[in-house]
Amino acid sequence: MNDTFVADIQKFTLANRALLERETDEQLQGIYGWLPDGSFADASRYPAIHQLDEARETRLQLEHYAEEEKAAGFSSVDSRRKIVRETAFTWLNRLVAFRLLEERKLLKQIVAKIDKSNGFIFWLTAEGNEEVYKLHQQGDLPLNPMGEGPSNVAYRRFILWQCGELARDVSVLFDPSTLPTRLFPRPAIVKQLAESMNTEARIEAWKPGNEETLGWVYEGFIEDENEAVFKKFSKGKKVIAEEIGAATQRFTPRWIVRFLVENSLGRLWAEMHPDSRLKDSLSYLVPIENSQAHPLKLVRDITFLDPSCGSMHFGLVAFDLFAEMYREEFEKAGQPGWPENPSVNAEDEIASSIIAHNLHGIDIDLRSVQISALTLLLRARTLSPKCAFTDRNLACANVEQTSGGKLETLIAAAKFSHPIYERVLRTLAAEMKDSDQLGSLLRLERSLERLVIEERRKAEENKQFLLSFPGISPEQFDTQAGIEEFFDLLSDQLLRHLDFFVRASREMGGDPGHIVNEAAKGLRYMQLVSHHYDVVATNPPYMSRRNMSDVIAKHLDKHYPETKGDLYAAFIARCLELVAPQGKVAMVTQQSFMFIGTYEKFRSNLLSRVTVETMAHLGPKAFPNITGEKVNTTAFVIRREPDGKSLEEHCGVYFRLVRERDAVAKQIAFEGAVSAMRSGMTTPIVFTYRQIDYDTIPEKPWVYWMPEKIQELFRQGRLLSVVAPPKVGLQTGDNTRFLRKWWEIGVNHIARNATSCSDTKRSGVKWIPYMKGGAPIPWNGNHEHVVNWKMDGVEIRAFCPRAVVRNPTFYFRKGVTWSDVSPKGFAGRLSPGGFIHDVKGMTCYPSDESLNEVLGIFNSTTAKFILSALNPTISFQVGDIERLPIPSKSSKDLEAKVEESVSLAQKDSSDSERTYDFIHPPLCVTEVDERHARLRRIEEEIDQEVTRLYGLDEADRLALKTELEGIKAVAEDNNEEEGDTEEEEETVAGAWTDLSLARAWVSYAFGMALGRYRIGEPEGLGRGNFDAATIAAISALIDSDGIMPSDAGHPQDIVSRTLRILELMRGEDTARRLVRAATGGDGVPENLLRGFLDRFTGQPEVSYWRYHYQLYRKRPIYWPLQSPKRKFTVWIFQERFTTNSLFEVRRMVEERLRMLEREIADKRIVAASNRSVAKELDKLLELSDDLRDFSKNLQDILQAGYTPHIDDGVLLNAAPLHTLLPSWPETQKAWQELAEGKYDWAQQAMDHWPERVREKCKTNKSFAIAHGLA
């Protein structure tokens, strides 16, 4: 199926889900009186309940259902929402199923022509349907209270009869006794849905061979839920039970399923039958040298399980392969190496045998089980239209919790013939209470095994065998096969007891169906997990620990401690429990278990139990239908191997597909590679790797593509952990509170030269430079943040346990740092001393003599390749970095070149006004380009020198470089990682253009006018490089208090002042050229500049405010105080804001207003007789009103009281002024959050809500310290 086809199916599904949910909701409310608030209205008000027996019975069943759900812990609103969703799902899939069955000629027409379908006509005329035929003859009118005419009732009864017929085969989906069955959609809805299915463009979806349509319908059905749950995850919230299906179900691309099935089930068959002809037809079967022989089995006895089966996609592909295996066995039975007698007596028995013996599936979502059953029915009946079908080998691992009272009633009334039945049901009830979240991860078989062991112990103590089943002896439990046989017998006996109990209860007028159905679901699950399978194949759920509910997390802590980091990893462990010795596990999972340190023990244990036969390492974008989450996957087949020697010497075959940019490219690359292998040719994306060689590298990552020369470095070289131990840094626990961009505080309030924690304690300075990560800039950079470390971090230390102070003895030291997360790859840069490092800006600390050497190695191709192999994610943790091998030799030449590289990178900092080191913008783009070209040449020389030190040659370096470039391109293209995107913005512009250069000079002149820069001062920020006369002339134009209006003709007009300063800096001609380039205009420079500075909407290309706001990471330092309609603006530099500043702003506004009033008075005299002047007057009056409102807003704030607190940060400090900042709406939100108590550590909070803040300080020591109360 192509993407367009799939998109259309999902569109169809979403539209009709909405249609059916709306219809069900209307029926519940309008016919049966179950209201949206969960209450039931008086039944006597509803004609259908009063007049129709079936409506009355439906109302009773709805009330009973709500009671059952309440007993299980669901509110009436939730249970109503649940039945709406389940009814929509059930009827959508039933009608789709009818359509699929029609197209395969397995049923006569049912929905293709609705009530004109030939299947309906035949049924009407069948013996026994005379009364229904009469209804049909009466036509569509009159309508009954349910909205149906007589012929509509007849058609509904036909549909329900057809469901009953199909329920014999697929009981889960077509059971006619369920509540969704009683909520059959009314005629107009059935007609609309049928017409939607029968469009010409959609007919192909129902044709034979497109059984996958069911899977895409299911995925489309949960698409909205999926988007909602991942949006929830992005906000840090955890999954709840009802969201698990939507959060974890993924339809696996068919080629990946084929790869896994052919290399597990297909290889198993080839190992049993080396002469099998199927080996040639399985084009995805990877050639493996010295493949292990497998004991011979009848096809009927080969078992296949998918423990998270979804829509049974794996089962579909396995079904077709099993069918070919049966045919081959049937043809070759009696020949050497083949069984004497085949598994079936005739080929038309194959489909029934596959369903009865071979395929098994489990899923946490009952809807998935329904789809799976239907999928297999379609495939089986397409192969053999009259084959027997059963869904007994499919189980839903989601059993609703059974309350104690109802369980006791069931046990008492069922009259079990042996006490073990009661004990089994109690075990089921206890163990499966959280099954709605745990699914196949529940090890129910272990609980039952313990139960059997206890029964045996009692029997031996009492000299009798209490498990008195026909043909069962104590020896039955000495083998795994015997235990499995006993569990099958036990389950069958229990199910017969439950069926008898249901029949007896209904004869007495009761309806125990719900509790018995749940118990039966549990028993079916018990049966399936009590067996071991030859092949276990699945695409398990993916869910990282941070998104897990407490129930899931605690269960994994207890039962899956080595794999508790993600559901998929726990499923790998679970699949190994369910597979038989010498059986195969085939999975597609996230790749992280192969590399990250938290799975080291799991990897070690895994490699001691299995051989990795083959792997398609897919990387990102293998699933074309997945967006919005980070999914880097790998598909693999492993064999449960009892022979230790075979484990060590085994060589797996790996396909490295991580560099291909999308799913189609990966499939094409794989198919080309496996075809080449089968033809005896080599291909660069195929690797063979001896399993024991994983032990070479610390933590045993599965770096199968690592060249032998690189492996040798680990055997011979020193590790970074010895040369320069990496250290995790400070975790503040609340970065919003404790971190600032340095420009929010101002360079004069930052201690930049501290050498120890005691220094900061003595000085009393609050803000310290902070190394927090950011973009992977080599050599130097990312010096944007400062941290509140007043008095040796007393506030942060009091914020424990959220705050974690790690390795403080390493704070302020020189080192080499890197960012922990980046899709753009790894880069090391100098931490020059005087910084505290963050958990995201991890740092290693070599000696002064080896610092440049380590920095050069970090930025080399070899080191980057090794690190990308050790952990091929976008995360670079201490555990990864410390495993980096370091050459035993050193090089003075390397040290000198690194020193020059750092110097050149620091020059970039002097170009940017957002750095501590800013001097002035570049004079021209060429100057920067030449410097960068020089840096690139030196970097290449450094790379060559490091390669030599590692003992590699130029060919090795170029090969590693090619690999890295491919990986980096894909990673950047697939940047779906969570996190603050601001952190990925580079601190220093990598490439200047004429446009960016022009804006930088305009901004420099603008900031100079407001008094930000210390022109001419040694080491002063933005000091420039000007002669004394220019410095004097510019200094005379700098505003004394950093408050300047944008008002033509005003002596402090910021536009004219900025232009004049720019002219002094660069000369008149260059200044005008820069203004025209910055604004994109070609007029009078002052007019162009005024338009640029006075515009507050649009993109940064047309608005200085938007440019400044973006440049300073949403923490602007120049604030535009404005009238409500933004007709008058006064700019203010926030570092120079004092308690008197607002008085000065209001003075300017009032002065402008007085001038305006005089102008208005003059205009009024002639406005009556001059239309043009009248229009001018209207504008002046509008400006006058705006200025008055501006003045009033200023007065309101002055009366309320406002004191700037620069330590609060730009946003919170500006929040009380939000009425003066209409172009900065984030300030209003910040003010609301301050009012709600979100930032009660802030001084602005204390100023405005002192009682609330003081009360919090009584119980929050960190707050008390912040406010000087402790």
Give the model confidence (pLDDT) of 238-265 as tens digits: 777 666 766 667 778 899 999 999 999 9
Structurally, how many domains does the chain consist of?
Answer: 5
Q: In this predicted structure, what is the pLDDT of residue 796? A: 95
Query: Which residue type occupies 961?
Result: K
Verify that 1005 and 1076 share a domain, yes or no.
yes
Residue 1216 has a CB neighbour count (10 Å cut-off) of: 22
In a domain, 933, yes or no: yes
Percent of the chain with pLDDT over 70: 89
Do residues 61 and 176 both lie within one domain? yes
Q: Tell me: do 158 and 254 sit in the same domain.
A: no
**511 falls in which pLDDT band (50, 70, 90)?**
very low
Task: Looking at the structure, tell me whether residues 383 and 334 fall in a common domain.
Answer: yes
pLDDT at residue 320 above 50? yes
Which neighbouring-strand residues pair with 651?
A: 690
Mean pLDDT of the region 6-20:
90
Buried b (16+ CB within 10 A) or exposed e, 1110-1128: ebbbebbbbbbbbbbebbb
Residue ending a domain, among 480, 514, 529, is 529
Average pLDDT over residues 407-426: 65
At residue 974, the pLDDT reads: 53
pTM for the whole structure: 0.81
Indicate whether 662 pLDDT > 70.
yes
Beta strands in 847-1001 (DSSP E): 885-886
Is pLDDT at 405 greater than 90 in this prediction?
Answer: no
Average pLDDT, the chain: 88
My answer on whether 600 and 668 are in the same domain is yes
Are 270 and 163 in a shared domain?
no
In a domain, 237, yes or no: no
Query: Which of 279-293, 513-527, 1119-1133 holds the top average pLDDT?
Result: 1119-1133
pLDDT tens string 839-892: 888 899 999 999 999 999 999 999 999 998 888 777 788 888 999 999 988 899
Tens-place pLDDT, residues 728-750 = 999 999 999 999 999 999 999 99
pLDDT recorded at residue 981: 40
Give the pLDDT of residue 973: 55
| Domain match, 206 and 270 both | no
Asked if residue 510 belongs to a domain, the reply is yes
Other Cβ atoms less than 10 A from the Cβ of 1228: the count is 14
**Does residue 1028 surpass a pLDDT of 60?**
yes
Start-to-end CA distance of the chain, whole Å, equals 68
Say yes or no to pLDDT of 500 above 80: no
pLDDT at residue 764 tops 80? yes
Q: Is 624 helix (H, G, I), strand (E, B) or coil?
A: coil
Model pLDDT for residues 1227-1260, shown as the tens digit of each residue: 999 999 999 999 999 999 999 999 999 999 999 9
Q: Tell whether the model's pLDDT for residue 1054 goes beyond 90.
A: yes
Residue 827 lies in a domain: yes
Is residue 999 a contact partner of residue 1078, using CB atoms and an 8 Å limit? yes
Model pLDDT for residues 688-733, shown as the tens digit of each residue: 999 989 988 888 999 999 998 898 888 877 899 999 999 999 999 9
Query: Do the Cβ atoms of 134 and 120 come closer than 8 Å?
Result: no
Residues 576 and 645 in one domain: yes
| Pick from 207-216, 378-387, 667-676, 1028-1037: least confident | 207-216
Would you say residue 43 has pLDDT above 50? yes
pLDDT at 1203 over 50: yes
CA distance 824 to 822: 5
Stretch among 251-265, 625-639, 1098-1112, 1183-1197 having the lowest mean pLDDT: 625-639
Residue 1197: CB partners within 8 Å, gap ≥ 6? Answer: 1142, 1216, 1217, 1219, 1220
Of 1091, 1112, 1138, which residue sits at a domain end? Answer: 1138
Going by pLDDT thresholds of 50, 70 and 90, the confidence category of residue 1056 is very high
Please give the average per-residue pLDDT across 972-986, as a whole number.
Answer: 45
In a domain, 1096, yes or no: yes
Is there a single domain that holds both residue 461 and residue 586? no
Higher-pLDDT residue of 1001 and 176 is 1001
Tokens in use for 137? 């003859």
Q: What's the whole-number mean pLDDT along residues 376-392?
A: 90
At residue 208, does pLDDT exceed 60? yes
pLDDT of residue 404: 44
Predicted local confidence at residue 478, as pLDDT: 63
Structural domain includes residue 1034: yes
Distance of CA 781 to the CA centre of its chain: 30
pLDDT at 841: 81
Same domain for 913 and 785 = yes
Residue 809 per-residue DSSP state: G
In three-state form (DSSP H/G/I as H, E/B as E, the rest C), the secondary structure along 1057-1096 is HHHHHHHHHHCHHHHHHHHHHHHCCCCCHHHHHHHHHHCC
- Last residue of a domain, which of 653, 681, 705? 705
What is the model's pLDDT at position 10?
A: 85
Confidence of residue 761 (pLDDT cuts 50, 70, 90): confident
Q: Is the pLDDT of residue 1206 over 50?
A: yes
Is the confidence at residue 187, as pLDDT, over 60? Answer: yes
Looking at residue 966, what is its pLDDT? 74
Dist. CA 902–CA 906, nearest whole Å: 6
Look at residue 1183 and tell me if it is in a domain: no
Q: Which residue has the higher pLDDT, 672 or 877?
A: 672
Please state, in angstroms and rounded to a whole number, the distance separating the CA atoms of residues 1100 and 1081.
15
Name the most confidently modeled range: 66-75, 415-424, 840-849: 840-849
Q: Supply the range of the domain harboring residue 87.
A: 3-210
Distances (CA, A) of 506 to 501, 513, 514: 9, 9, 13
Q: Calculate mean pLDDT across residues 549-561.
A: 93
Q: Is the pLDDT of residue 982 over 50?
A: no
DSSP 1043: E
Domain match, 510 and 637 both: no
**C-beta separation of 52 from 145 below 8 A:** yes
Q: Are residues 435 and 508 in the same domain?
A: yes
What local confidence, expressed as pLDDT, does residue 1208 receive? 97
Q: Looking at the domain assignment, is residue 620 inside a domain?
A: yes
Residues 1195 and 1173: beta-carbon distance below 8 Å: no
| Residue pair 326/383 in contact by the 8 Å Cβ criterion | no
Query: Domain holding 690: CATH number?
Result: 3.40.50.150
